[in-house]
Structure 1
Amino acid sequence: MNDVMTALAAVAPLASGWAWHGVTMRRRLAAARRDPLSGLPTRAAFERRADRALARGQHVVIVMDLDGFKGLNDAFGHAAGDAAIRVTAMSLTGFLNGRRGSVAARLGGDEFAAVVPVTDRVALPWLLGGLHGAVTAPFRYSGRDLAVGASIGACVTSDLPVASLSLALRRADEAMYEAKRAGGGWRIAEGPALTHTTTAGRRTGRPGTSRGEAA
């Protein structure tokens, strides 16, 4: 019995070390799937989850760009821009909270996307208007009230010939561009696709969205 207890005592630290290693690896893998600034899923993680969601029924696919982001960066510095990204992510997450099956992500720069289940498209104006209001609300930074605008494009998957995420993102992106040209707000993709060529599901020639660029 003493020999058994001695052996277990010798193995325990090794087992504990492997257990901690496993926890660390899981945490690192989870972190790799999250954008470090916003805390939202990265594009790759978003696409995997969104593909599964679209297979379960009708959804609205949303693409959103912040308006006035470059001006905020120029006037108040990149730290203020980072704060705007974090606040936008929190507003987006908070607005979608409770909408079971929703998936949101930061695609890069000041660009975000979401996939939300929708059973009644009559409610879409309320959904998109509410989202726009949530992400454009002023936020506090260094004793100042700051705000950014937003242009939102949406595509309902049942309007597509096939529930393809890449096609839905393209159509939502086109609708977002139309909203941006009109000065912001939201638009729902309707009718045939526009004539823009696309690259990797995005409109070719679309303005850059890296941090600090106007979009």
Structure 2
Amino acid sequence: MDPNRLAPQHLHAIAAAALPLAAWGVHAALMRRRLDRARRDPLTGLLTRDGFTIAATRLLHQPDTGVVVIDLDGFKQINDTHGHAAGDAVLSHAARALTEWAGDHGVAARLGGDEFAVVRPFEPAWVPVRMGHLAGAFARPAQWQGHSLHYGASAGLARAADLPGRTLETVLAAADAAMYQAKRNGGGWHQHTPSTDLATADRRWRRTRTAA
């Protein structure tokens, strides 16, 4: 049958049948946008812990992938001195730096407060260079109402290939333990080593991060 010669009642029936499909398409698009917003931190635009879990679990199956857990240094002092608006400016500044550093092959997230995480490739030979670039990103101060807000970061790196099982929870716990070691060292970054007590690190991760 020539569609150009359909009777008017047939055309109306086709249009009526198409309406639910079109409405469902709009509804599905809205749901996807709402789900994406729910997985994004409203202040920084970074993934939340839930969104990061999904993305990082997928990326950890790729070769040389690692996770970095970052805790800002000097953030509380900025909040106490200049107020929460200045603190928000620092968090947004850190988020932009981490997004740029993660690049096209990685993802960044805000786990909560001033704690962040990044999953991205870390070829062993390039680890010092990559982590040096991260330190450089935080060396630039955030600007807020004419103030240069200087802050730093303590970062812990764990490569999935160096850990048994390569599960996200294991890699996160190892990166978290490395971050605490960096903080004890006065800042900068520290890489997980096989000698780290992962049982203790995993308990600390579960205890201190479940609300993030």
- In the alignment, which of 88, 102, 113 is matched to residue 96 of structure 1? 102
Distance change (3 Å), C-alpha of 1:19 and 1:185: same
| Cα separation, 1, equivalents of 2:73 and 2:206 | 18
1:48 aligned partner:
54
- In the alignment, which of 90, 104, 121 is matched to residue 117 of structure 1? 121
Tell me if 1:140 matches 2:146: no
Distance change (3 Å), C-alpha of 1:10 and 1:44: closer
**Contact residue 64 and residue 113 of structure 1 kept, 8 A:** yes
Tell me if 1:126 matches 2:129: yes
Which letter does structure 2 place at the counterpart of 1:52? R
Of all paired residues, the percent bearing the same amino acid is 43
The 3-state SS of whatever aligns with 2:63 is coil
1:70 aligned partner:
76
Question: Which structure has the greater CA radius of gyration?
Answer: 2
Q: Which runs of 5+ in 1 are unaligned?
A: 211-215
2:170 aligned partner:
167
Structure with bigger RCO (C-alpha 8 Å, 6+ apart):
1
Shift of 1:106: 0.9
**Contact residue 152 and residue 187 of structure 1 kept, 8 A:** yes
Between stretches 195-204 and 29-38, larger displacement belongs to: 195-204
Distance change (3 Å), C-alpha of 1:19 and 1:166: closer
Shift of 1:5: 4.5
- In the alignment, which of 71, 78, 88 is matched to residue 82 of structure 1? 88
**Contact residue 173 and residue 203 of structure 1 kept, 8 A:** no
**Contact residue 102 and residue 119 of structure 2 kept, 8 A:** no
User: Which TM-score applies when normalising by structure 2?
Assistant: 0.84
**Contact residue 136 and residue 150 of structure 1 kept, 8 A:** no
| Cα separation, 2, equivalents of 1:97 and 1:149 | 20
**Contact residue 99 and residue 107 of structure 2 kept, 8 A:** no
Which letter does structure 1 place at the counterpart of 2:29? V
